[in-house]
Amino acid sequence: MRRVAVTGLGIISPVGNNVTDFFNNLMSGQSGVRRVTEDFAEKLSIKIAAPADFNPSDYFPKKQVWSLERSTQMALSAASQAWNDSGLSLDESEKKRTGTYIGTGMAGAHTLAEAHISVYIKDARVNPLSVTKIMSNAPASHISILYKLEGPCLTFSTACSASSVAIGEAYHHIRTGFVDIMLAGGTESMITMVSMKCWGSLGVLALEDPDDPSTSCRPFSKDRTGFVLGEGAAVIILEEMERAKKRGAKIYGEIIGYSSTCDACHITSPSVDGQARSMHLALDEARISPDDIDYINAHGTATIVNDSVETQAIKKVFSKKAYKIPISSTKSMHGHLLGAAGAVEFIASVLSIKHKSVPPTANLRVPDPECDLDYVPNIGRTGLDIKTVMSNSFAFGGTNAVLIVREA
């Protein structure tokens, strides 16, 4: 089997639109959560979200601002960062062995909402490009078109694990020789009235902190009330290791393990056994033991059930070692980016190796006996010997994905 290097990173997020700002803000505990200011805010019962500070007019000409869905705009912007960061320059034959895998939950949420308003409220003509903006494969397709990549172009929609699955499948396809280079990641933009009302009705959104809305997302804290919807995109460049070395690429790390499993028990309730099995399988593929993991970037959504179940699953896999590993949920700051969450958190994991630092779990202010591991409360840690990191993504539908990356 071939080895797979990470050679480029790009991100648009609620806490930074480049990897440097993103990681610095995470380390300082900077929150991207705020009160929603859109016109529909008055109609919401829960009025907080974590939007990206992203103005498409700063990135695209007027025609593309009109013709591209917001999630696609962010995906293209993140992909451009990753491409430039990697220093790739491909000839025609190399482009045939380069592909694009993107994960998303509902890439066309804004356009779909606009179409509903046009049809049911305004009785007006629908944007003629609505179909090409709404379709979930639009972000991946536009990235492939931009760089003329003729390898596989696939979209994964496994709810909150979608972009981790996209990265994992891209890794496997390079590993087995199907392709040489992959752009992989995820994108999501669901901060619309309909989306927020749907998630709110399900009862999983965090209640607004009356003193400071930015602290409303509190993973692993006993006073947690749910997650905060975030938006953004993250794309990474994966490359066959020897090829990357030969061209003198900057190598952030090496993916060594991946698993994708299904709990097969409930559409919304997570399974301790299912999550533990996914972590075990990733460790097995990486050919390492639990003792080799130096940091876990947890799924950590800040819902009562998820955080408790993930804690139990980590204990089941790591036993006594579980109490010695720093674990954190960066969702406490950037919110839950749903289909893009795994890729955003994978970038945080890669950067933790580069900077030998662990971002905190912000707003963890009330210890929970059911979540009693080292969740790095409130203050990030520096100067750590971090070489191997596990990144967890556990989704509605019971679709789990675990990635393991190590120092190259």
What confidence score (pLDDT) does residue 306 get? Answer: 98
**Judgement on whether residues 196 and 62 belong to the same structural domain of the protein:** yes
**Judgement on whether residues 238 and 260 belong to the same structural domain of the protein:** no
**Which of 246, 265, 297 is where one domain is finished?**
246
Question: pLDDT-derived band of residue 295, with 50, 70 and 90 as boundaries?
Answer: very high
Name the residues annotated as catalytic.
Answer: 160, 299, 336
Query: Are the C-beta atoms of 314 and 293 separated by less than 8 Å?
Result: no
Question: pLDDT-derived band of residue 116, with 50, 70 and 90 as boundaries?
Answer: confident
Query: Are the C-beta atoms of 236 and 101 separated by less than 8 Å?
Result: no
**Judgement on whether residues 67 and 96 belong to the same structural domain of the protein:** yes
**Judgement on whether residues 231 and 268 belong to the same structural domain of the protein:** no
What confidence tens digit (pLDDT) does each residue in 361-378 have? 999 999 999 999 999 999
Query: Are the C-beta atoms of 32 and 44 separated by less than 8 Å?
Result: no
Residue 123 has pLDDT above 90, yes or no: no
What confidence score (pLDDT) does residue 124 get? Answer: 87
What confidence score (pLDDT) does residue 152 get? Answer: 98
**Judgement on whether residues 258 and 170 belong to the same structural domain of the protein:** no
**Judgement on whether residues 81 and 180 belong to the same structural domain of the protein:** yes
**Judgement on whether residues 282 and 163 belong to the same structural domain of the protein:** no
Residue whose C-alpha is closest to residue 35's, from 229, 174, 200, 273? 229
**Judgement on whether residues 178 and 215 belong to the same structural domain of the protein:** yes
**Which of 246, 264, 286 is where one domain is finished?**
246
Q: Is the pTM of this model over 0.85?
A: yes
What confidence tens digit (pLDDT) does each residue in 299-339 have? 999 999 999 999 999 999 999 999 999 999 999 999 999 99
**Which of 218, 246, 274 is where one domain is finished?**
246
> What pairing do the DSSP bridges indicate for beta strands 253-262 and 4-12?
antiparallel
Neighbours of 287 (CB within 10 A): 9
What confidence score (pLDDT) does residue 13 get? Answer: 98
> What pairing do the DSSP bridges indicate for beta strands 399-406 and 388-394?
antiparallel
CATH number of the domain enclosing 170: 3.40.47.10
Residue whose C-alpha is closest to residue 394's, from 296, 318, 319, 256? 296
Q: Which domain holds residue 161?
A: 4-246
**Judgement on whether residues 87 and 187 belong to the same structural domain of the protein:** yes
**Judgement on whether residues 13 and 67 belong to the same structural domain of the protein:** yes
**Judgement on whether residues 213 and 302 belong to the same structural domain of the protein:** no
**Judgement on whether residues 289 and 363 belong to the same structural domain of the protein:** yes
The more confidently predicted of residues 389 and 120 is 389
Average pLDDT of the segment spanning 274-297 = 98
Number of domains in the chain: 2
- Interatomic CA distance for residues 98 and 144, integer angstroms: 9
